[in-house]
Structure 1
Amino acid sequence: MTWTQQVAEPVIHFSAVGLTYPGPPAVTALRPCDLRIGRGEFVTVVGPSGSGKSTLLNIVGLLDAPTRGTYLLDGIDTGAVSEANRAALRSERIGFVFQSFHLLAHRSAQENVELAMLYQRLARRRRRVRAEAVLRRVGLGHRLHALPTQLSGGERQRVAIARALVSEPSLLLCDEPTGNLDSRTATSVLDLLRGLHQDGMTIVVITHDAHVAGQGQRTVTIQDGLLTERVSEQVIK
Structure 2
Amino acid sequence: MTTPHDGPLPVISLEDLGLTYPGPPPVTALHPLELRIEKGEFVIVVGPSGSGKSSLLNVLGLLDNPTRGVYRLNGVDTSTVDDTRRAALRGREIGFVFQAFHLLPHRTAQENVELAMVYQRIPRRIRRQRAAAVLARVGLADRAHAMPTQLSGGQRQRVAIARALVAEPALLLCDEPTGNLDSETAASILDLLDRLHAEGMTILVITHDRHVAERGRRTLTIRDGVLSESARAHVAAP
Q: What's the TM-score bracket when you normalise by the shorter of the two chains?
A: over 0.9
Hey, what's the Cα distance between the residues in 2 that align with 1:119 and 1:171? 19
Please name the residue that 1:148 is paired with.
148
Post-superposition Cα deviations, 1:106-151, rounded to whole Å, max 9, x if no partner, equal 0000000000000111110100000000000000000010000000
Hey, what's the Cα distance between the residues in 2 that align with 1:198 and 1:23? 44
Post-superposition Cα deviations, 1:81-111, rounded to whole Å, max 9, x if no partner, equal 1111111110000000000000000000000
2:220 pairs with 1:201 = no
Is there any run of 5+ residues in structure 1 with no aligned partner, and where? none
Letter in 1 for 2:146: A
Contact 1:214–1:232 (8 Å) recurs in 2: no
Post-superposition Cα deviations, 1:179-216, rounded to whole Å, max 9, x if no partner, equal 00000000000000000000000000000001101111
Please name the residue that 1:125 is paired with.
125
Flag the 1:7–1:171 CA change in 2: closer, same or farther, 3 A: farther
Please name the residue that 2:73 is paired with.
73
Post-superposition Cα deviations, 1:2-46, rounded to whole Å, max 9, x if no partner, equal xxx997100000001000011110100000000000000000000
- The normalised TM-score by structure 1 is 0.96
Hey, what's the Cα distance between the residues in 2 that align with 1:216 and 1:6? 26
Please name the residue that 2:182 is paired with.
182
Letter in 2 for 1:200: G
Q: CA RMSD in A?
A: 1.6
Hey, what's the Cα distance between the residues in 2 that align with 1:129 and 1:232? 41
Hey, what's the Cα distance between the residues in 1 that align with 2:153 and 2:87? 29
What SS is found at the alignment partner of 2:24?
coil
Contact 1:29–1:225 (8 Å) recurs in 2: yes
Post-superposition Cα deviations, 1:21-73, rounded to whole Å, max 9, x if no partner, equal 11110100000000000000000000000000000000000000100000000
- The normalised TM-score by structure 2 is 0.95
Please name the residue that 1:53 is paired with.
53
Please name the residue that 1:212 is paired with.
212
Letter in 1 for 2:127: R
Is there any run of 5+ residues in structure 2 with no aligned partner, and where? none
Contact 1:109–1:144 (8 Å) recurs in 2: yes
Please name the residue that 1:227 is paired with.
227
Hey, what's the Cα distance between the residues in 2 that align with 1:145 and 1:235? 38
Hey, what's the Cα distance between the residues in 1 that align with 2:125 and 2:21? 45
What SS is found at the alignment partner of 2:117?
coil
Flag the 1:141–1:6 CA change in 2: closer, same or farther, 3 A: farther
